[in-house]
Amino acid sequence: MFGFGGIRRAVGAAAAGLVAAALLVAPAAQADPETDPPENVLPPAITGPARPGGTLRCSPGTWLDEPTLTTAWRTGSTPLGEGASYVVRSADVGAVVVCTVRAENSVGVSTASSSPVTVTAAPRTPSAPPAPSTACTGAPYVQAAGGVLWTRRRTVAIRVATPAGTTAVEIAGNPEFWGAQRRRLDARCTYRWTLADLPDGTPQRIYVRFPGATAPITVSDVLRYDVSPPWVTKAHARWSNRRGGWVLRTRARDVGAGVASFETARRNGTVRRAHRLGRTVVSWDRSVLERVRFTDRLGNRSGWVRVRFLS
């Protein structure tokens, strides 16, 4: 028979034996050694604006085998710096930039590079349009530049004064403003407008309205297009003893801006002389009066017409 103390000593000895046996049976825990150099499975990538002053950042990508990573920047074979980011300089414009990541562990070293990016110049900031001149603001009106009523040009310049609050002008060839053209305010108060292709002398009204104005206002002006020259209805000369020479009598008509002046010349077109309309031309030398032509107020000229000499 064992006493209580003996039983306790026997149990303790048995437990110690079991622990020792377990330690002998269980294998010792060991760290898994690195057996491969680093492997890149997702390449590095560059993000950020590639222009002077912009900051490029290099994402290192994804690597296996727990390497230590370092990043370097280069253009061609020229190094630019190290680190995860690079600030682009003005001298880099046009250069092709790449970031290269170096991965190292106890077994070896590997590298991987990003796709290249090209540095471009910073975009120019567009200049703001000039502020409209205060001379354009006032009682609204539209008028052909110079106040003309006739024109020989299909595209004309019109001057527009705008009421307060106007943000733009709309120009049309009809009061309903079908096909109207919207224009920004011009500091010189002048806008281009193309007349419709209508027969010469047809009145063409130009309508203008003013978006943004405190009250709806429409103004208009009329122009006539004229490229038709005058035609000569009389061209003869008669000798006058009292005047001592040949007296030229001429007349011409014009359906447009009106006749302004005429010229005389020799038969071959030389010795041309210009004369005011209504002036009496006298010359003892009939050769300088053999041809005549007329010009209207827009500069449209008739052809040369032969002068008849009467006895």
> What is residue 87's predicted lDDT score, i.e. its pLDDT?
94
Query: What percent helix, strand, coil does the chain show, rounded to 5?
Result: 10, 45, 45
Flag whether the pTM goes above 0.75.
no
List, in order, residues 6 or more apart from 152 with CB less than 8 Å away. Answer: 225, 226, 227, 298, 299, 300
> What is residue 11's predicted lDDT score, i.e. its pLDDT?
42
Using CA atoms, how far residue 195 sits from 74, 172, 298, in Å, is: 61, 10, 16
> What is residue 217's predicted lDDT score, i.e. its pLDDT?
87
Residue type, 201: G
Measured CA to CA, the distance from residue 246 to residue 115 in angstroms comes to: 93
Which 3 state secondary structure label does DSSP give 122? Answer: coil
- What does the pLDDT average to over 27-39? 62
Would you say 221 and 172 are in contact if contact means Cβ atoms under 8 Å apart?
A: no
Instruction: Report the residue count for the chain.
Output: 311
* Statement: residue 28 has pLDDT above 60: no
- CATH class label, 39-118: mainly beta
* Exposed/middle/buried for residue 145 (C-beta within 10 Å: 0-12, 13-18, 19+): middle
The phi, psi pair for 146, rounded to 5°, reads 85, -5
Task: Give the model confidence (pLDDT) of 115-174 as tens digits.
Answer: 999 999 877 766 655 544 445 777 887 888 667 788 888 899 999 989 888 999 999 999
Q: Which residues of 37-74 are buried (b: 16+ CB within 10 A; e: fewer)?
A: bbebeeebebeeebbbeeebebbbbebebebeeebbbb
Which CATH number among 3.30.70, 1.10.3470, 1.10.10, 2.60.40 corresponds to the domain 134-225? 2.60.40
Which CATH number among 3.40.50, 1.10.357, 2.60.120, 2.60.40 corresponds to the domain 231-310? 2.60.40
Same fold, 39-118 and 134-225: yes
Domain ranges of the chain: 39-118, 134-225, 231-310
Task: Give the model confidence (pLDDT) of 56-107 as tens digits.
Answer: 999 998 988 888 999 999 998 899 999 999 999 999 999 999 999 999 998 8
Would you say 223 and 156 are in contact if contact means Cβ atoms under 8 Å apart?
A: yes
Measured CA to CA, the distance from residue 209 to residue 207 in angstroms comes to: 7
Max Cα distance, the chain (Å):
185
Comparing 6 with 197, which gets the higher pLDDT? 197
